[in-house]
Structure 1
Amino acid sequence: MSMRLWAGALGAAAMAACVVAGGARAADKPAVKGQRAAVKHVADQRLLVATPQGRGMLAIYADRSLAAPAPGVKRVLLVVHGTLRNADTYFSDGRKAQQAAGTAGAGTLVAAPQFLTRTDVQAFGLAADTLIWTRNGWKDGAPAVAPAPISSFAALDALLEHFADRKLYPALVEVVLAGHSAGAQVVQRYAVAGRGEAALRRAGIHVRYVVANPSSYLYFSDARPSADGSFRPADAAACPKAVKWKYGLEDAPPYVQREGSAGLEARYARRDVVYLLGMADTNPYTHFIDRSCAGMAQGPYRLARGLAYFSYMQQRHPSGLEQTLVEVPGVGHNGQGMFTSACGLAVLFGTPVPATCPRKP
């Protein structure tokens, strides 16, 4: 995307925000209501998460029992749901991608964790040991509200560590942690701060993080993109949240505060991260996009924000950056469309990216 288009889009978005703010807020009301409502389905499996902060059970979908040995599994595809906590939909998307991949998807276990809220637990009468978070806390790595203050990132640690068990998964070669939209926000922050990869690496298992169309990214400095392609300090006086967690490292949750920012960034740059961006994800208003001042400081819409963030990482790490950006032609903000596209299948299942998918570097 040219900087001229960026500037035009940003200006148009800002003007529209002033002119039709009331209409935009009215259109957002059903979306907000959807976030507050209980989920329609709850995952049927549970994974124990045991931490120094306490214990709890994480709800999870999987295409086979997680308690039974799976000697034929060579790859695990973990799909993190979006803001509606509809893990059943994302689990289905993951299975459709696995089927669409053909032979490349053979030997793949598909699973989708579910970060529930108190509303969900009450609606379904779930056991008291079920982990629950606030509506936004699970997205940010915040501690659970019950039964113990366990970070959603610690829950992902436990999930990744589960697959490091060679007694259960003797043939496992790689784990792919993928998310779309709000799920991608979780995956990107977890790729920065998460500690579950260590156990998999010790077992000789590779980990890849697929970040598809998130609404925002975690920056390591106060620099934010400008229309001319440069990065300038965010106006923290006008928008203090622009440099605070989850947009920056200031005021990060306890899970993240255990490590220094320099160490987190260096490790993140070395991790296998793929930014999967829909080339048609350019609507500045729909699908729960973050229109706060902190979100808008990262760009006018999701595609612009993703392109800018990858440029930011390239500029900060001119060598040694183990990350890739892949664009998906013709797809907007659609998780199934992203993951089942030829570009998405190549990223998820480790096959060559087609020439039709713009790729950097």
Structure 2
Amino acid sequence: MKSLFGFLVALCAAHAGVLGLTLNYITVNSSYTFPYASSVDITTSNPSIKTVFMVIHGIAGDVQTSFGNMVALTSYDSSIAVVAPYFACDKSIPIQANTLMWDCNGWQEGDPSAQLSSIYSFSMADRLLQIVRSSFANLGQVYVVGYSAGGQFVQRYLGGSTVALSSKLNTNVGFVVGAPGSFMYLDTHRVKSGISFKAISNECNPSGCSLSISNFTTNYNPSPSCPGYDQDKYGLSDVQTQVPFTYLSQFTAGTISTQYQGQSVTYMVGSMDTAVDSILDTTCPAQAQGENRLQRSLVFNRYLQLYFPQAWSAPQVVVGCTHDELCVFRSSQFAAATKLTFQNLPSSNTTPTSRSMGVPRASIPVLGATMLALGTLSMLLI
């Protein structure tokens, strides 16, 4: 009970500050600034920090949600720091007048900023990692974590970043890709267009995936046609010729694929993340990957297992979670992947909901108004 109370107090305290989020800024090319949130001052030397979580927000620019969730999950350990870049595409959060802005979808795939064509969204993630590496002399582990649109960012970023590498940062680097709406495939293989979503589900579900090489093709050709299924953020066919030129465009497809296969990646998704709604990408290139986020995650993982086994790791499907970041990240699978020691993991008979905070319902009254406010924070778009 004492440890539970301590966790709840920390959770309340963490989110009370986040509800009034304070953004910090780094200067870019002397004329512009880039905002981020952090649990500690990342510009000052701090030998006590051993682990950094860089968490990427969702499509709605909900940095306060993703940052707050991760602070709440890690606040029991003072050696952990959380940093969250903010890719502003509107003024929903007050920002400085000279803040770099991004296309509301393009930041997920490494697009340039609206003001400076040479500064990409991935460049700013690189910059933050360089800062924490410089400030935290005893840093032993970095995790780059994203859910939904943030998961899309992380899954693409890990294949091209010139900084997010253990060899560059001289520390361990791991990635968590949570329930992205689509994936960047490493080559042109896709499940054959003649195989229905229902048939895919029969072969590929949370209990296992038995899709075989005979189910895939390098000539995905549905009717009507889908010529862009391996272009832009969905693949690497046009990585060096796409418009706009992105961070990844400086590399060949082969270079990206090779780096991707050498990274340490955990893929996570909820077992109930099957909604097909207005915030899910339903374009032809996305549907070439599956019907919904769960199916797309399982199919992509099986694809890696068949064609890029060095990049494969068993998918972490969190039972009972819908498209809910905190439900997934409060799981024992996330704790195992990131070496966290949660003080109040849900019991096996706890059924998470779309707003689950990962604590027993009986504990909710203890948290009062702050906890009730948190219910609105755990929802992320796409």
Structures share a fold, TM > 0.5?
yes
CA-CA distance at 1:42 after TM superposition: 6.6
Q: Superposed, which structure 2 residues align to 1:212-223 within 5 Å? A: 212-223=178-189
After TM superposition, give the deviation of residue 203 of structure 1 in Å: 4.4
Write the distance in 2 (CA, Å) between the matches of 1:47 and 1:324: 38
Of 134, 140, 159, 1:173 maps to 140
Question: Could you tell me which of 326, 329, 340 is aligned with 1:336?
Answer: 326
Structure 1 position 240, deviation (Å): 2.1
Match of 2:91 in 1: 120
2:285 corresponding residue in structure 1: 294
Q: How does 1:188-199 map to 2 (within 5 A)?
A: 188-198=155-165
Q: CA deviation at 1:285?
A: 2.1
The 5 Å alignment of 1:87-166 reads 87-99=63-75, 102=76, 105-117=77-89, 119-120=90-91, 124=94, 126-128=96-98, 130-147=99-116, 149-165=118-134
Structure 1 unmatched runs, 5+: 1-39, 357-361
Structure 1 residue 147 displacement after superposition: 4.8
Query: Unaligned stretches of 5+ in structure 2?
Result: 1-18, 193-199, 204-210, 240-244, 349-382
Is residue 2:241 matched to residue 1:251?
no
- The counterpart of 2:338, out of the listed 318, 329, 348, is 348
SS at match of 2:234: coil
The 3 A distance-change label for structure 1 pair 176 and 55 is farther
Question: In the alignment, what sits opposite 2:261?
Answer: 269
Give the conservation status (yes or no) of the 8 Å contact 2:163–2:169: no
In the alignment, structure 1 residue 45 sits paired with structure 2 residue 31: no
Check if 1:182 corresponds to 2:149: yes
CA RMSD of superposed structures (Å): 2.6
Could you tell me whether the CA contact under 8 Å between 1:178 and 1:184 is conserved in 2? yes
Alignment partner, residue 240 of structure 1: 227
Distance, in Å, in 1 between the alignment partners of 2:260 and 2:109 is 17
TM-score normalized with structure 1 length? 0.76
Question: 1:57/1:148 Cα in 2 relative to 1: closer, same or farther (>3 Å)?
Answer: farther
Percent identity between the two aligned chains: 27
Residue 31 of structure 1 corresponds to which residue in structure 2?
Answer: none
Asked if structure 1 preserves the Cα contact closer than 8 Å seen for 2:178 and 2:267, the reply is yes
Cα distance change, pair 55–311 in 1 and its aligned pair in 2 (3 A)? farther
Evaluate the alpha carbon distance shift between residue 322 and residue 304 of structure 1 in structure 2; reply closer, same or farther with a 3 A threshold. Answer: closer
Are the counterparts in 2 of residues 73 and 107 from structure 1 also a CA contact under 8 Å?
yes
Task: Figure out how many residues of one structure are paired with residues of the other and give that number.
Answer: 301
Cα distance in 2 for partners of 1:201, 1:146 equals: 32
Determine the structure 2 residue equivalent to 1:285: 277
Counterpart code for 1:338: V
Question: Offset of 1:41 from its aligned partner?
Answer: 7.4
Equivalent position SS for 1:238: coil
Report the CA distance shift for 1:164/1:207 in structure 2 as closer, same or farther (over 3 A): same
